[in-house]
Amino acid sequence: MRVLVVGGAGYIGSHTVYELIKDHQEVIILDNLSSGYMELVHPEATFYQGDIRNKADVIRVFAKEEIDVVMHFAAKIVVPESVKEPLEYYYNNVEGVRVLLEVMKEFNVKKIVFSSTAAVYGEASGICHEDDPTVPINPYGETKLATEKMIKWVSNAYGFNYVIFRYFNVAGADQSLKIGLMKDQLTHLIPVAIQGIIGLRDHLMIFGDDYPTKDGTCIRDYIHVSDLAYAHVLGAHYLVNGGTSETMNLGSNAGFTVREVAEAVNAIAPLKVVMGPRRDGDPAELVASNDKAKRILNWSPKYNLKDIVQSDYLYRKKISYK
Ligand code: UDP
């Protein structure tokens, strides 16, 4: 397969490129490097710098390369930023994909694997199934849901086939430690906690311990980035082999509390934890049902929470000593 990975210089995009190349696929990357890094670009991939909101940038790639499947990772993903700058989020996340789809249609490339998010479920608490109501509570989730719908209508009108993946809490790093979540992008629980054990942060603050969960802290579903990335390889094969359009959760079917994550990190090295107030917009529990991805793609995660935490630890240690 020849796969165009839009956003292939970012965290999840670069891991997907690594999995595609391990699977002996040909990879073309288009990335504007706004939050990606050249050092995350796999040396065997063909790289184009460009912005999908600029149609000429996209045409340049499609005119030069034969493409079987497109994958899209080039989104802005910071929830509080999306609340402050909704227009920027709609412009980047929705308009960018609209232009991409337009060029795909013009070049008769009609298969897309699209990265969406558990944020489309909004305040839903508990196990999320793909046909649950989608009621996002922030512009980030809204832009992903709007784009999901755009892809569905485009598929209906022009005969595209898509796989939409809704990600849960992604963390960890490739086993090679060549790529991972870079250090200036840290707000998520696992990398923040890891910083607390390698001397880059004094402590982890737990945002609220009065939720209706077993230990009062929020429950999330953590998924290793390489497991998530590999699902995209399976999704691309599925489409190329004639699979019909589907939306699937990517998670582990299991939830862990913030305290349990802190304990897993503390098992590597001592982590100081302090209690803080709730953070706005955090649902008590968000766990994926991954039965659909198992059934359709025969996908299931290989790595557990301990592996995820350990790989992020090794990567963060490596980049902090550079
Ligand atoms: N969290 C925390 N302290 C931190 C970062 C996150 O207690 O420094 C909590 C957060 O409130 C949520 C969970 O960890 O309950 C996962 O948050 P994260 O930002 O990693 O992902 P989200 O689920 O918001 O996408």
SS3 content of the chain, % helix, strand, coil (to 5): 40, 20, 40
- Say yes or no: 85 and 204 in one domain: no
Nearest CA to ligand 1 atom 10: 207
- Say yes or no: 11 and 137 in one domain: yes
- Say yes or no: 96 and 205 in one domain: no
Question: Domain total for the chain?
Answer: 2
- Say yes or no: 102 and 201 in one domain: no
d(CA 34, CA 101): 21
- Say yes or no: 240 and 185 in one domain: no
Nearest CA to ligand 1 atom 18: 188
Handedness of CA 130, 131, 132, 135 (dihedral sign): positive
Q: How many CB atoms lie within 10 A of CB 2?
A: 14
Tell me, in angstroms, the distance from the centre of ligand 1 to residue 188's CA.
Answer: 6
C-alpha distance across the termini of the chain, in Å: 36
Mutate to test the pocket of ligand 1, among 258, 260, 261 (most ligand atoms within 8 A of CB): 258
Residue 242: predicted pLDDT: 98
3-state secondary structure 263-320: HHHHCCCCCCEEEECCCCCCCCEEEECCHHHHHHHCCCCCCCHHHHHHHHHHHHHHHH
Q: Which one of the listed residues 18, 140, 211, 238 is annotated catalytic?
A: 140
- Say yes or no: 186 and 104 in one domain: no
Residue 79: predicted pLDDT: 86
Task: Provide residues with CB under 6 Å of ligand 1.
Answer: 169, 187-189, 192, 204-207, 218, 220, 258, 279, 282
Q: How far is CA 112 from the centre of its chain?
A: 15
Residue pLDDT tens, the chain, 322 long:
999 999 999 999 999 999 999 999 999 999 999 999 999 999 999 999 999 999 999 999 999 999 999 999 999 998 889 999 999 999 999 999 999 999 999 999 999 999 999 999 998 778 999 999 999 989 999 999 999 999 999 999 999 999 999 999 999 999 999 999 987 668 899 999 999 999 999 999 999 999 999 999 999 999 999 999 999 999 999 999 999 999 999 999 999 999 999 999 999 999 999 999 998 778 889 999 999 999 999 999 999 999 999 999 999 999 986 5
Answer whether 164's CB lies under 8 Å from 183's CB: no
pTM of the model: 0.96
Q: Domain residues for 33? A: 2-170+222-249
Tell me, in angstroms, the distance from the centre of ligand 1 to residue 3's CA.
Answer: 33
Nearest CA to ligand 1 atom 12: 218
In eight-state DSSP terms, residue 34 is S
As a residue count, the chain comes to: 322
Residue 321: predicted pLDDT: 65
Mutate to test the pocket of ligand 1, among 188, 203, 309 (most ligand atoms within 8 A of CB): 188
Specify the residue for token string 């968000």: 286
Tell me, in angstroms, the distance from the centre of ligand 1 to residue 10's CA.
Answer: 21
Nearest CA to ligand 1 atom 6: 189
- Say yes or no: 11 and 56 in one domain: yes
Q: What CATH number is associated with residue 110? A: 3.40.50.720
Q: Residue 194 corresponds to which amino acid?
A: I
Q: What CATH number is associated with residue 199? A: 3.90.25.10
Task: Determine which helix (DSSP H) or strand (DSSP E) holds 262, and give its type and residue range.
Answer: helix 258-266
- Say yes or no: 124 and 216 in one domain: no
- Say yes or no: 229 and 110 in one domain: yes
DSSP annotation string for 131-143:
TS----SSHHHHH
Tell me, in angstroms, the distance from the centre of ligand 1 to residue 232's CA.
Answer: 25
DSSP annotation string for 48-65:
EE--TTSHHHHHHHHHHS
Tell me, in angstroms, the distance from the centre of ligand 1 to residue 292's CA.
Answer: 26
140 is a catalytic site residue = yes
Residue 184: predicted pLDDT: 67
- Say yes or no: 102 and 244 in one domain: yes
Residue 92: predicted pLDDT: 97
Residues sharing a CB contact under 8 Å with residue 298, sequence separation 6 or more, in sequence order: 234
- Say yes or no: 19 and 80 in one domain: yes
Q: Considering 205, 231, 249, which residue would you say is the last residue of a domain?
A: 249
Specify the residue for token string 């912005």: 51
Answer whether 192's CB lies under 8 Å from 245's CB: no
Residue 247: predicted pLDDT: 98
Q: How many CB atoms lie within 10 A of CB 284?
A: 17
- Say yes or no: 163 and 192 in one domain: no
Q: How many CB atoms lie within 10 A of CB 88?
A: 14
